[in-house]
Chains A and B, each alone.
Chain A
Amino acid sequence: MKGYVRYFVGKSLWFLITLFFAFILNFMLPRLMPGDPVAGIVARMAQGMTEAAGVQAIYEQYTELFGLNKPLYEQFFIYVNNVLHGDFGYSISQYPRTVADVIGSSILWTVILQLPAIIVGWMIGNVLGALAAYRKSGFDKVLMPTSLFMSSLPAFGMAVILLVLFAVSMELFPTSGGYGFDMIPNFSWGFIWSVIMHYQLPFWSIVLVLIGGQAIGMRSMAIYELNADYVKFSRFMGIKDNKILRYVFRNAMLPQVTGLALAIGTLVGGALVAEIIFSYPGLGTTILSAVLGGDYPLISATALIITIMVLVSTFIIEILYGFIDPRIKAAQTDD
């Protein structure tokens, strides 16, 4: 267990360090750009807003929020302090809502959409890849080019194809939104059913794209493992094929788990874009409307939230990985 504790501490430290750098990046990028960030924000804001009182309020708020007259490190502390209190200021495009409020109403949609989609897609992809590696014949020949094509499609491409097929031509599913546009969120059956129907297409578009990539990766890993010398050695020592296969697939699975941890940032990025196609009320759509509205505070905060979400999921996967890979638990501390 000693080895695992060391692994856990190491990963936690690394998590904190990346988190710190994520804050720094988020803090520094607008300040690195030429010009006064507050002035820039207000300039963009002036195009979109008509309320003079609102403009004034935001200007004061951001002068204080950015604390530009203070030294940089102090600015950073103010920033971190604000973030930790969930204080991201007012949204420009949706004034007088606060940024925290806007994000709060969309973050759950994104999490509920992406988390299950990534888990389901990863699992189906790995099972198919393992099967393709084991049954080389017809299954492999059909699955591989299909997977390659599917993984070449960006998530938004798959989203559009599903949308056109199942929503526009067949009219089986609604085309856009998170629930019926004429509904008010509540816990009635009608509402839940509407949410489920709206969920299907965005969900499967993420899953299908993920399946392709994961299947290809798993297939390569499994073929590599199947050709490994330990398979030959175990076979010729008389160990049964079923048992060997179990080891092969477990060993092939391990890099796939770390692969997921490394790829999750890319996956989330693709899925955010897919949200836009379906006008799904998540963070992706929030970014688009923030960009269109020149809403810097909203974009910056959304970016930070997404980064934190990705970092946390990466961290969780790595912690779980420590449990699956026996070598980590057993690693001796003496070398």
Chain B
Amino acid sequence: MKHTIRQVFRSGKFVVGFIIFMIIIAFVVFYPLFVRNPPLEIIGQGTFFPPGVYVNVFDSIDSSTRYTLNLDDATAKRIASKLNEDDRLAMGEWLVASGIAESEINTADTALLMDQWLNNFDSKLSIPGMTNAKRNYFIRLDASLDGLLSEEGAIIAARDADTGELEEKEVIAQTDYVNIGQAANIRVLPLGTDNFGRDVLTELVKATGVSLLIGFIAGLIATGIGLSLGLLAGYVGGIVDDGIMFVTNLFTVIPTIVLLILISFSIGQEHRGPVTIAVVIGFTSWVWTTRAVRAQVISLRNRDHVNLSKLSGHSTVRIILLSILPFIASYVVMALILQISAGILAEASLSILGLGPRTTDIPTLGLMLNWAFIYQAQVLGQWWAYIPVILVIALIAFSLNLMNTGLDQVFNPALRE
């Protein structure tokens, strides 16, 4: 046993898979210890806030200490953030169309460009071939450029409690900075928020844990059923074997997804918790394990040590436990690993189809994808809502497959070369 484990850990593939898997588990276990936010708390009013550090605007204006930094490129950066390359080119185009010589236009020179634009732009001017959408774009662009070159600060005013008049309190200069460490309210959202305005990272960690649990329960059930049926069919043989194989063959050709869809839908929304889904997945995916175990047991059934055990009058249970199980243990472990990975994928598929666990307090990887896809995040380019989820699914499946391949190479030396 010790020797086998040592051998397994010498397989590069297994070790890589194991490390990836352990890192994922570590995240699931330790992240909640440091970040104690409830995973499904709605913190954002609106959908799909992009990843980043969120600083409270009021706090930063209200900050008691303000620092003046003399940075030469601050203005340039501010303009660049509002006026990108496409806008500049579009402005150039408009200027050319309005009759300014192309040689006089330099889109890289912001001051010149702005000057020409302010002097020449006329929203009512109709240029041949310009679509309505384009015209609206130029009007919006013009509005956004308003005051861009001004060097005045912004005025903060407070309403006087008695008179109701606005009174100027202070002016925030363009060179004013606040130290982010001194701001009272900051929220880091490394993966932004989802369609409901929930912190994706916190949700993802919780979902990973739940999905792993679903995979684990489903895997255990499937392997348990598969192992028992396989042992029974392989060892007992005869009518028992025929019966079990009939059912197994039947469920091999009838697509699992169809069973899952029918059963999940029949159970009804209200009753579909993560555990229920895991159990359903487990009960529909045992066929491969049954086949594999049966084949192994049949090849073992007539080995010398099994015959010896039979001749010695040992009970069937004892023969199976002591003379057969140890020899197929490696296969069973491999089957379990595959089943866990398959269970996680099955939950994800089912959830994307809208038949996943229906909970309001626990996310799963599949549900996160379902939410993102229903809100068309994949088309709108809100990658943070689904790419990390898919990456986690792929990494879990990849690490489990790697471990499995590693084990396979240890136990089936032919593949090692």
Contact = CB atoms under 8 A, between A and B. Distances in A.
Contacts of B387: 160, 164
Given A148-B402, A168-B379, A25 B259 contact: yes
Contacts of A310: 253-255, 258
Contacts of A149: 394, 398
A291 B415 contact: no
Interface stretch (A107-115, A299-307, A321-329): A299-307
Given A30-B266, A163-B378, A164-B378, A154 B257 contact: no
Main secondary structure on B side of the interface with A: helix
Given A25-B262, A148-B402, A176-B379, A154 B345 contact: yes
Contact of A154 (B256, B381, B393, B414): B393
Nearest to B261: A303
Interface in A237-291: 262, 265-266, 268-270, 272-273, 276-277, 284, 287-288, 291
A21 B254 contact: yes
Contact of A307 (B254, B266, B401, B402): B254
B370 to A, nearest CB: 9
Nearest to B377: A160
Interface in B302-345: 341, 345
Interface stretch (A65-73, A86-94, A219-227): A219-227
Given A21-B250, A268-B255, A292 B373 contact: no
B284 to A, nearest CB: 11
Contacts of A299: 261-262, 265
A129 B394 CA distance: 22
B352 interface: yes
A18 B398 CA distance: 34
A195 B387 CA distance: 27
Chain A at the B interface: SS class = helix
Contacts of B345: 154
Nearest to A285: B353
Contacts of B354: 287-288, 291-292
B353 A288 contact: yes
A82 interface: no
Interface size class of B (residues with CB under 8 A): 35 or more
A156 B365 CA distance: 13
B234 to A, nearest CB: 19
Contacts of B386: 160
Interface string A202-220: 0000000000000000001
B105 interface: no
A311 B254 CA distance: 7
B211 interface: no
Most A CB within 10 A of own CB, among B250, B266, B393: B266
B265 A296 contact: yes
A168 B265 contact: no
B218 interface: no
Contacts of A277: 373, 378
Contact of B257 (A151, A224, A265): A265
B351 to A, nearest CB: 10
A154 B353 CA distance: 14
B222 interface: no
A152 B401 contact: yes
B348 interface: yes
Contact of A152 (B349, B373, B379, B394): B394
Contacts of A292: 354
Contacts of B349: 154, 156, 269-270, 273
A169 B400 CA distance: 31
Contacts of A220: 415
* Most chain B CB within a 10 A radius of its CB, from A25, A296, A300, A314: A25
A180 interface: no
Contact of B253 (A161, A223, A265): A265
B140 to A, nearest CB: 22
10 contacts: A18-B253, A21-B254, A148-B398, A152-B341, A152-B397, A160-B387, A223-B417, A227-B417, A269-B349, A287-B261
Given A25-B254, A160-B378, A223-B414, 10 more contacts: A21-B250, A32-B266, A33-B266, A156-B349, A157-B393, A220-B415, A227-B417, A266-B255, A269-B256, A310-B253
The 8 closest A-B pairs by CB, nearest first: A269-B257, A265-B255, A291-B354, A152-B397, A152-B398, A33-B266, A157-B390, A303-B258
